[in-house]
Structure 1
Amino acid sequence: MFIDLILKSGKSAIDLCFYVLLPIMVVMMSFMRLLEAKRVLEFVSRVFYPVLKIFGMPGLGIFAALQILLVSFAAPIATLTIMEKKRVSEREIAASLAMIFTMSQANATFPLIVYGLNFKLILFTSIIGGVVASALTFYYFGKNLSYGDVVHGDINEKPTDKSILSILLDGGNEAVNLIIKSIPLILLAIFFVNVLKAIHLIEWLEKFFNPLISIFGVNPSVTLPVITKFLAGGTAMMAVTIDLIKSGIMTAKDLNLIAGFVINPFDVVGVMVLCSAGDATKKVLRHAALGATVGIMVKGVLHYLLFSLM
């Protein structure tokens, strides 16, 4: 049984890395490197930095926000990697990571819209929660992290004479190396989740939390998606939720009441994937996690209250 769990986890990790993350990362990293070479990142960073710095984020934070909201939970890795290489301070990386952890990831949001998820509301609460998480991390949880006179607008110091094809290939190769390095962390995270499933801990947690969830007037059936999300990730949560809605056990209203809490990349798998961006990202994980916890609570409560009033 133990060997079977290892093999099953390995297959899941390889599927996730090579068939989900790799295509996204190759395209996103190549695209970001092209924008960097053409000095688009420099321009956008300078334009947005005066506003984003209020909430503790660098100018590049706008790219991270768009990537998580419109592409996938893994897409911001490209921006985090560039932040590390361009000397963005630890406090700003922590603030950006907290924002990413809080916002709703597109790979779960868009499929669930078909099953009744209120996209405008989840987008609004994601922005509010992300801003709260970022600001709290920068000004409070990460105040002891390094922060100095770093470069915010000068993203690409020297124009490159490389061809567009060479730039795209460099970005693609960087993405491949990044994904390969992340395989051990992702495999271990998935193995951990599979062990919890094998010992029936998830089933026990579902029974334990059912009465608590019922207090808030929410269908107890949402317990399974909630637990699945924080242990197995947003994609697994999405699959479980769709299955429950199709079978009539959950409704679109049930989904919207918990959406603010469960649609985000702040889970075992998501954390492992995003932290593969580099050493600085790993270093600020604890600070970002604290900020994200508050941000997700704000986002979740806000989404719950607003949807209840609609």
Structure 2
Amino acid sequence: MDLLIDVILRAGRSAVELSFFVLLPVMVVMLSLMRLLEARGVLDWVVARLSPLLRPVGLTGLGIFAALQINFVSFAAPVATLAMMDQRGASSRHIAATLAMVMAMAQANVSMPMAALGLNFGLVLGWSLVGGLVAAATTYYGFGRRLPATEQPMDEILHHPVAESAKGVLDVINRAGAEAFKIALGAIPMLVLSLTVVLALRRMGALDALTGLLSPLLLGIGADPGLILPTLTKYLAGGTAMMGIMDEMIRAGSSGATTLNGVAAGLLIHPLDVPGVAVLISAGRRVAQVWKPAALGAGVGILVRMVGHGLTG
């Protein structure tokens, strides 16, 4: 019992430190910046200019906005945009392409805080864009080509607050801060539970046994056996939980920036995991219906990101 309590307390301390001292400050600054750009109409201008260029890969104006949200806000931010696409008459084929892109890209709530751990954020952002576009095109022309492509007349105007005065700017920043706090607070339960399980398995020797069992196979294909633990954590508990594990490993000296910026950046930093998919498909009925072709397309995009990071990391 003493061992269990010690594991829980250690996991809780690590989860709170990661959420409030790493995740929260980054999210406050980036969300404030994004919301101010949104309120000033800058994002509307960017979306309007990029829409004609990205239509050929199956993305609409709202799809482009979803890409900005996942890369600069959090993995959950595109849920509202996907819901708008569902409600405003976007075709199932376009929804699938957008969902695939989102699931293949790097989520800001992991990539930005991990920059403090040595992650090359600029490189991650570049390959995130490439992987997302590949995922969207692969889904639109491949896995989702038989989905309905008929669109209703669609309102792609993004309704949001404006910031024309000092009070308006302050209101936008306050709302962004509250949103960032909600993201950081919401990450704590999953972090505590996942870190508790991982630390308990480590104390019992289960993780060492699994690593020893799989290491020869991974070494044979040139992969890092040290990625076993964060990979299992990521796909079962999500990106934020994986970030907690990587933070522990880096502090212990068993991992470092070289590992972060290699194939691991493409393999681990995206929302194609159990919690991520569950959150994204909650956006609407038609979004949930197209998750399978979208996940297949996202898998192709993630593979491209892994190869890219392996070559340039």
Q: Tell me the equivalent position of 1:102.
A: 104
Aligned partners of 1:100 and 1:130: how far apart in 2?
7
Q: Tell me the equivalent position of 2:148.
A: 146
Percent of paired sites with the same residue: 42
The aligned runs of 1:197-212 (5 Å cut-off) are 203=207, 206-212=211-217
TM-score, normalised by the number of residues in structure 1:
0.71
Q: Tell me the equivalent position of 2:164.
A: none
Contact 2:75/2:271, CA 8 A, preserved across alignment: yes
Question: Helix, strand or coil for the counterpart of 1:127?
Answer: helix
Q: Tell me the equivalent position of 1:3.
A: none
How many Å apart are 1:130 and its aligned residue? 0.6
Aligned partners of 1:84 and 1:213: how far apart in 2?
42
Aligned partners of 1:245 and 1:195: how far apart in 2?
19
Letter in 2 for 1:55: V
The change in CA–CA distance for 1:45 and 1:89 in structure 2 (over 3 A counts) is farther
**Residue 276 of structure 2 corresponds to residue 270 of structure 1:** yes
How many Å apart are 1:111 and its aligned residue? 1.5
How many Å apart are 1:231 and its aligned residue? 1.1
Aligned partners of 1:193 and 1:272: how far apart in 2?
21
Q: Tell me the equivalent position of 1:133.
A: 135
Contact 1:41/1:155, CA 8 A, preserved across alignment: no
Aligned partners of 1:115 and 1:194: how far apart in 2?
22
Letter in 2 for 1:298: V
TM-score, normalised by the number of residues in structure 2:
0.70
Q: Tell me the equivalent position of 1:232.
A: 237
The change in CA–CA distance for 1:106 and 1:45 in structure 2 (over 3 A counts) is closer
Aligned partners of 1:57 and 1:254: how far apart in 2?
33
How many Å apart are 1:212 and its aligned residue? 2.7
How many Å apart are 1:119 and its aligned residue? 1.2
Contact 1:47/1:59, CA 8 A, preserved across alignment: no
RMSD: 4.1
Question: Helix, strand or coil for the counterpart of 2:75?
Answer: coil
Aligned partners of 1:295 and 1:60: how far apart in 2?
20
Question: Helix, strand or coil for the counterpart of 1:223?
Answer: helix
Contact 1:102/1:133, CA 8 A, preserved across alignment: yes
Aligned partners of 2:227 and 2:273: how far apart in 1?
17
Count of matched residue positions in the alignment of Structure 1 and Structure 2: 268
How many Å apart are 1:102 and its aligned residue? 0.6
Contact 2:47/2:65, CA 8 A, preserved across alignment: no
Aligned partners of 2:93 and 2:199: how far apart in 1?
36
Question: Helix, strand or coil for the counterpart of 1:60?
Answer: helix
Aligned partners of 1:157 and 1:196: how far apart in 2?
42
| Equivalent residue for 1:53, pick from 47, 51, 55 | 55
Aligned partners of 1:235 and 1:260: how far apart in 2?
15
Aligned partners of 1:275 and 1:130: how far apart in 2?
17
Contact 1:84/1:278, CA 8 A, preserved across alignment: yes
| Equivalent residue for 1:79, pick from 81, 85, 91 | 81
Question: Helix, strand or coil for the counterpart of 2:61?
Answer: coil
How many Å apart are 1:218 and its aligned residue? 4.4
